[in-house]
Structure formats: C-alpha cells, structure tokens
Structure 1
Amino acid sequence: MNGPEIHVEFDPELLLFVPQARPTGATRTATDGVCGLGHVVESLGVPLTEVGALLVDGREVPVGHVPAAGESVTVRAVSRPQRVPGAPLRFLLDVHLGTLARRLRLLGVDTAYESTDIGDPALAARSAAERRVMLSRDRGLLRRRELWAGAFVYSTQPEEQLQYVLDRFRPELRPWSRCTACNGLLRRATKEEVADQLKSGTHRTYDVFAQCGECGRAYWKGAHHERLVAIVERALASRTGRP
C-alpha cells in the first residue's frame, strides 16, 4: 500500500497480533485509499473477530470507512460480555482445542468439536451453517468471511482457555447436562440400561447413572469425579465472583 498514511493505536489485548506496534501500542501505516478500515486492520494482523469499536479522530466509524491521510485510528478490543445476535449462543472448536471442548460440555455449554483436521473451509462452512461461534488459535481461519462469528483463544492452557471463553461470552452454565464425548444431552438411566458398559466392580459399587441420548455413553461418579467437580466449582465460583 502506497496511499494515504494513517496513525493506528491498538488496545493492549490486541498487541499480540501487531508486533510492530508493541513498543508504543501504535504504528503508522500506508493505505491504498480504496479499501475499508476493516481491511487495513486485518492487513496489520488483527482478525476482525477480535475488533470492537473503530474510532477515527475520536468518533466511531464502520469497518467500511475508507481512511484518509493523517487520520488517527483507535482499534478497540471486543467488549465483554460479547453478545452474538441472531442465534442461540453455541460454539465450534477446531482440532487443537479438544480439552477446552470437553470442559465446556462438562459445564453444559453446547459445544461442537472436530477431532480431525477437516480444513479451514469446512470449519468455516459449519460455523455458518449451524450458526456457531468458531473458537480457534488459527488467525487465518478467523479471517474467513463465511464464519458466522469467531474468537481467538489466547492461551494454550485449558484452565485459562476455559476462563477466557466464560468471561468473554458468559454462556449459560448447566453442569452435568451434556455428554463430554459427543455433546449430546444426558438423561437419568437405570443400572440395567447401561449394564453392558459396566465392569463388575462398577456394577456392584454404583447405583446412579446418566446416559447420553445421542451416543449412548454411560456416566457415573467414578474415579475422576472429584477432579471434574473441582473444574465445575471453579467455573461457577468465577461466575458469581466468589474466591
């Protein structure tokens, strides 16, 4: 781009995407005098899924605003909690976020997940077809125009990833209501209904079971239950502001 030069300042959260702006939080860039401000921001490295308000000389403008020479642009991060209009809040996670998918399902959040790499076009198409928010650490995927909505997952640590999604979107939590394997809804089940999935010791020890209405997987309060309870309690405590 060899057109009008503008000054662009970024919210601190967005500096991850703009190395050239990190020392001061701002950078200068040339534009082509034709493309909208959204295109300019993306060309600097920031997916529009991460952009909230765009301000030009202190006034808010749309992403299609064509910047003029000398304008001062402020790029805000998305506000929280982020509202996604037009569909129930539900998510789609890519192949790298399997642990996060299981934890969201544990909390009862509608979470689709691709356990194999089906490619960015197919993921974006599924996001659009099912109106799911795409969660990913792939910036290229989040720049695809056909996405319904998306968000960059900043951390590589599952606990931090979960807290980030809960803080950013504040989804309704219904712990223990979804299958962590397939996202199906759970129902109460008798021991006889799930007997074929139980080892003899489990059959003798436990009497309360749930079963997925989609894949048929059985659940009970087994060896990992305390760890799962801790995950749920931390999530609920963060929602209510308790320590």
Structure 2
Amino acid sequence: MESAQKPEISLIVAPELRLFLASGRRQADRTLVRTDGASTLGHVVESLGVPLTEVGALLADGRPVPAGHLPEHGAQITVQGVTRPQQVPGPLRFLLDVHLGTLARRLRLLGVDAAYENPDIGDAALATRSATERRVLLSRDRGLLRRRELWAGGYVYSHRPAEQLRDVLSRFAPPLAPWTRCTACNGTLHEATKDAVQEQLLDGTERSYDAFARCGDCGQVYWRGAHHAQLTAIVDEALREFGPTAQPLPTPAH
C-alpha cells in the first residue's frame, strides 16, 4: 500500500532574505516545499538556506508561530526578516570570526565591545564562545550561523568594511563611545601622560604629540598620529547617522 502523500506548504520569503535561497527560487513570490511531515518549520526554513538568525517573525496562515511549529499540508507560511533595530537581551556584545578583522577594529574604534578570533578557532569553538559569553556572533558563513549552540547571531551582508559597519550599526544600534576601546585587543583606553608612556614612544612621536591614551589590558599606546584624520572620518560618519549614546574620552587619542 502506498504511503500517505507528504505535506506541501507554500512559503513567502521576505525580499531581503531571498539571497539565501537557491537561484531558481529567488524571483518567485512563493516557494512550494514538500516536507516529511516531521520537520519543524525552522528546519524547513534553514533547509532552504535561510539562517534563523536572519528571520524575524514566522507566520502560518497569518498567525505567529515558533520555529518549532510543525506545518500542516497546505499551510501558507510567511518568513519575515528581523525588525531593525533588533532587540538583544542584556549588554550588547559581539564576536566576529576570522574574516571580519577590519569590521572588528572599526567597531572598537566606536567603543563597541567586539571580540575577534584570529587565527580561526573553528565553528564549534566560536559558537561555544558566543553561548558562554552571550555575544552576538557576526559572520558571513551561513553554516556557522545555523549552529544550534549559538546564543545569537547576525549575517554580515556585504564584503566591504564601510557597508558592513553601517549594516551592524543599523541592525543592532549598539551604544557608541568613540575612542574608548583598544582597536588591537578590545580593552578599555585610559588617558595617559607623556611621562607615563615615554618609554614606549619613538623620539619623533615624543617631540610631536602631547595627548596620549593607553589600553588597560594590553598596554598599547595611542596618539593622534598620521592616520587620525582617516579614523576621525569613520567616527564622524557613524555619529552623524547613528548618534552617540555615551561620553567618549575628553581627549580622543589614536
């Protein structure tokens, strides 16, 4: 005797999420999927290539349902993107994978807590650290973002650092406190006198600059050097669009 027909459901995927779909499905308004009758809606969505970190609400025939919902035959499913700014419980902290070093430094430049793993420690260790430290994992690796042990995650949509930064600030709206974090290690910067950091300075730097800051974790010293104008432009652009929510050091030093 033939087995019962497997359920078929219809999905409407938000336009901003269609890039995750197979190329043949991206232009269609609806995507038909035949399920095995036992897989959750979350599993079905991820099997299409869409990480759940990028999904906001899931609707079944117009009503909100959890990712663990079992869709019935004929169900009309709507997959919505995340609402911006996305709410994350507790202090907002990030973890970036090995491919996002420039983005990590720019977030730190703005005072955002951004841990960065280099060299690559592997997907399992990254996901575990995200869960242990309650950090939002940022990555362009869709497979990594589908790991169950993740605490929270976000796909980085662009490969250009300037666009990556704007995307993260728009999506998560982290508090900004420019010039207060070490771009090398993510530690906190403190004002320092020239005498206190003199042994770490070259003769030319000692003669040319008077305002300094030093990282309380790694000891890195900062001053307004040759790249200060370029860094200031990054900071000013971010503040114009997303605004500060914390006070920076009185004398920014980089």
- Name the counterpart of 2:98: 95
Question: Which stretches in structure 2 are left out of the alignment for 5+ residues?
Answer: 244-254
1:3 maps onto 2:6 in alignment? yes
1:42 partnered with 2:59: no
Alignment check: 8 A CA contact 1:11 1:25 kept:
no
Local SS of the residue matching 2:153: strand
* CA–CA separation in structure 2 for the residues paired with 1:63 and 1:146: 15
Determine whether 1:150 maps to 2:169.
Answer: no
User: 129, 132, 144: which is aligned to 1:129?
Assistant: 132
What is the CA distance between 1:26 and its match in structure 2?
Answer: 2.4
Q: Which residue of 1 aligns with 2:206?
A: 203
Aligned to 1:33: 37
Q: How big is the shift at 1:57?
A: 1.3
Tell whether the 8 Å contact from 1:15 to 1:25 is kept in structure 2 after alignment: no
- Determine the structure 2 residue equivalent to 1:181: 184
Equivalent position to 1:106, from 104, 109, 113: 109
What is the number of equivalent residue pairs in this alignment? 238
**TM-score for the superposition, normalised by structure 2:** 0.92
Q: Does structure 1 residue 51 correspond to structure 2 residue 70?
A: no
- CA drift of 1:25 comes to 3.6
> Which AA in structure 1 matches 2:195?
E
In structure 1, how many angstroms separate the alpha carbons of the residues matched to 2:124 and 2:219? Answer: 31
Structure 1 consecutive aligned stretches of length 4 or more whose deviation exceeds 6 Å: none
SS of corresponding position for 1:92: strand
Distance 1:223 1:34 in 2: 61
Partner residue, 2:237? 234
Per the alignment, residue 15 of structure 2 pairs with 12
Residue 225 (structure 2) aligns with? 222
1:196 CA displacement: 2.2
Task: Show the counterpart of 1:77.
Answer: 81
SS for the counterpart of 1:67 is: coil
Other structure's SS at 2:99 match: helix
Name the TM-score, length of structure 1 as normaliser: 0.96
Distance 2:25 2:13 in 1: 8
How far apart, in 1, do the equivalents of 2:74 and 2:136 lie?
36
2:66 corresponds in structure 1 to 62
Higher mean C-alpha displacement, 101-110 vs 27-36 = 27-36
How much identity, in percent, do the aligned residues show? 66
- Measured in 2, the distance between the counterparts of 1:195 and 1:15 equals 55
**Code of the aligned partner of 2:193:** T
Instruction: State the Cα deviation string for residues 69-97 of structure 1 (Å, max 9, x = none).
Output: 11111100011100112x21000000000
- Matched AA of 1:91: F
Q: Give the secondary structure class of the aligned counterpart of 1:95.
A: coil
